[in-house]
Amino acid sequence: MKKIINTLLILVTLSGNAQSNFISSGKIEFEKKVNLQKETEDQHWLDGIRDKLPKYRTSFHNLYFKEGKTLFEKGVDNYVKIPFMGDDKSVDDIIYTDLKQGVFYKKQNAFDETFLLSDSIRHIKWQMTNDLRDIAGFECHKAVGKILDSVFVVAFYTDQITTSGGPLSFCRLPGMILGIAIPRSNMTIFATKVELTEPKPEKFSIPTGKTKKADYKSFTQALQKALSDWGDYGKKYIINSLL
């Protein structure tokens, strides 16, 4: 019995030390959920069949991080075709960020074309709060920011992971962002687990393939021009394309 108790004490001590150590590399799984019931409220052609839609469209993504670099891409392929709805092309987005150099690259689909955006990391003025939340076993601090003039973003970051990255193109808080909520887009992205396996160097490379090159400004202008007559749906499409 004494031997069993001593073994348990050692395990508890090791667990406590693991949580107190700072993490600089690894892999994070994120679950992205979009509330379809709310997201389609302005699409009146769905009024008679909206109750047949699932409440959420869910996808999983991985974020690899090491030495000030991150790569965000599709994870477990659980994509389900939803009746009456088009495919969510953003599931296949790949976002590479070099936090030291202050640049990001994003490979994404729009208008049946594949674009490769390259630009400086977007500046977000974050407002810190005293709120705390546990996400994937990490104590996270809440911060609120604003993008695209009017889109509020709620982020939860942990300073136990020293890389100041995060899902999509959100970063530069005092630690890793493990949770994002964007009410305007009826979207949440929260970490489900953190793995301490060190990613291979080749994981951190700029997305390649046949793409149309653009920077953030020119891509935004192209979206605005193409969707100028699409009303609220067009505005929502632009916002979601620039996250």
Q: How confident is the model over 210-227, as pLDDT tens digits? A: 899 999 999 999 999 989
Structural domain spans, the chain = 35-241
Sheet holding 69-74, edge to edge: 127-135, 138-147, 151-158, 176-182, 187-195, 25-35, 56-66, 69-74, 94-98, 103-110, 113-120, 212-214
**Can you give the pLDDT at residue 47?**
78
Q: How far apart are CA 176 and CA 161, in angstroms?
A: 5
Q: In this structure, which amino acid lies at residue 195?
A: E
**Can you give the pLDDT at residue 16?**
43
**Can you give the pLDDT at residue 19?**
46
Q: Considering only CA atoms, give the Rg of the chain.
A: 20
Q: Beta strand 113-120 with 212-214: parallel, antiparallel or unpaired?
A: parallel
Could you identify the residue written with the tokens 């348990």?
A: 8
**Can you give the pLDDT at residue 142?**
98
**Can you give the pLDDT at residue 138?**
97
* In contact, 224 and 239? CB cutoff 8 Å: no
Write out the H or E segment, with its range, that includes residue 20.
Answer: helix 2-20
**Can you give the pLDDT at residue 11?**
35
For 229, half-sphere exposure in the C-beta direction (CA atoms, 13 angstrom radius) is 1
What per-residue string of b and e applies to 7-46 under the rule 16 or more CB within 10 Å gives b?
eeeeeeeeeeeeeeeebebbbbbbbbbbbbeebbeeeeeb
**Can you give the pLDDT at residue 77?**
79
**Can you give the pLDDT at residue 120?**
97
Q: Confirm whether pTM is higher than 0.85.
A: yes
**Positions in the chain short of pLDDT 70:** 1-20, 45, 84
Domain 35-241 indexed as CATH 3.30.200: no
pLDDT tens readout for residues 96-131 = 999 999 999 999 998 889 999 999 999 999 999 999
